[in-house]
Amino acid sequence: MKKWKFTLGIDVSKNTLDIHCSEVREHICIPNGSEGFKLFIKWCKTHQIKLKESLVVMEYTGGYEYKFIQFCESKSIPYSRIPGLAIKRSMGITRGKNDRVDAARIAQYGEEKHKTIQVSKPWNKAIMYLKELLGVRKRIVREKASYMGSLKERKHMFPDLKQDSLCKIYETKIKQNEKLIEQLDQELLAFVESHPEIKTNYELLISIRGIGMVNALMTIGYTENFECFPNARSYAVYVGVVPFDYSSGTSIRGRKKVSPIANKELKQELTQAARSAVQWDPELREYALKKMNNKCYNVVLNNVKFKLILRMFAVVKKQSKYVDNYQKAA
């Protein structure tokens, strides 16, 4: 693994970037924009920091780092985005917190982990837009569910209401959200049609029983069209469906359990897919019924999620649709 000459840790916020270089022990705070990037270039020249021989390490922030990522790509500066939890846990016991200290800690993490840190691939704008569409759709679906719950509760508490203004408001909002969801679904399908490389994998994924449009597109989005996870198991760990041992010495002998550190949103959507698969896929239904003889429903459902992930990665790897060859034993 390449040993970088300089390691730059960047604490990203909406308006500013705090940058720390471990090797020269210098810090600068710049605006998060083109003017700030010019100051950053001057600062690097002043301290003889060669950016082509440097690794920039920053946290995922959900969007605030994208301006700086575009700048790095335009200047061919290597960078890596790291989950904040990974950096936090690597620091051990720490006291105090501010942007300057955080930048130094991120730089320290990059310096210590240079053998394992991988340089991030160029930002895929199509994938980012897909994830934004899915995010908006998810929020509207949740809002619709909230209004439906409120409407149901009000009708339960006041069954004699005939013309209630609140009920009408709830019903109006539900209809509006249904139209928006339909509009976003059309936008998502149009997006798939306009990107052949995504369309190919999308059609492969929906050939699997239980995997619908949302699960297929979310998998494509979060795997960056199956380029950022080496295999199905690593993605299953990220989603949170792989159990790990819980034991130590002779005193702790806990059962295996999944880690709470996972992408809960993906796991939730995959739960719906697993329930559908158990209902409509004969092989998975028989598998689930056998497992439920000695396991609880949630554990069995987790096993089905893992099988669905294996199938998704398999069809993409083989570039062929899923073929159901299941034959029930006599």
Closest of 37, 41, 38, 42 to residue 68, by C-alpha? 37
In this prediction, residue 113 carries a pLDDT of: 78
Does 23 score more than 90 pLDDT?
A: no
- pLDDT at residue 148, as a whole number: 95
Q: What is the pLDDT of residue 261?
A: 72
* Nearest in space to 90 (alpha carbons), one of 66, 128, 72, 116: 116
**Would you mind telling me the total number of residues written for the chain in this entry?**
330
| Mean pLDDT, residues 28-47 taken together | 93
Cα-trace Rg, the chain: 24
Q: Residue 209's pLDDT is what?
A: 93
44-84 pLDDT, tens per residue? 999 999 988 889 998 876 678 888 998 999 999 999 888 77
pLDDT of residue 59: 81
Instruction: Say what the pLDDT of residue 296 is.
Output: 86
Are 119 and 153 in contact by the 8 Å Cβ rule? The answer is no
Domain locations in the chain as residue ranges: 6-112, 125-194, 197-330
Burial 256-269 (b: 16+ CB within 10 A, else e): eebeeebeeebbeb
- CB 171 within 8 Å of CB 151: yes
Q: Is the confidence at residue 229, as pLDDT, over 70?
A: yes
Select the more confidently predicted residue: 137 or 259. Answer: 137
More confident residue, 179 or 12: 179
- Indicate whether 12 pLDDT > 60: yes
- What pLDDT is stored for residue 299 in this prediction? 87
Nearest by Cα to 309 from 224, 210, 228: 210
pLDDT digits (tens, 9 = 90+) for 257-291: 777 777 888 999 999 999 999 999 999 999 899 88
Confidence of residue 93 (pLDDT cuts 50, 70, 90): low
Residue 227, pLDDT > 90, answer no
pLDDT of residue 270: 93
At residue 65, the pLDDT reads: 85
Q: State the pLDDT confidence band at 119, using cuts at 50, 70 and 90.
A: confident
What is the average per-residue pLDDT within 209-235?
A: 92
CA–CA separation, 145 and 151 (whole Å): 10
What token pair was written down for 324? 């159901």
**Residues with Cβ within 8 Å of residue 232, at least 6 apart in sequence:** 309, 310, 312, 313, 314
Alpha-carbon gap, residue 121 to 131, rounded angstroms:
17
CATH of domain 6-112: 3.30.420.40
| Residue 95 pLDDT class (50, 70, 90 cuts) | low
Using a pLDDT cut of 90, give the percent of the chain over it.
47
Residue pLDDT, tens place only, 317-327: 999 999 887 66
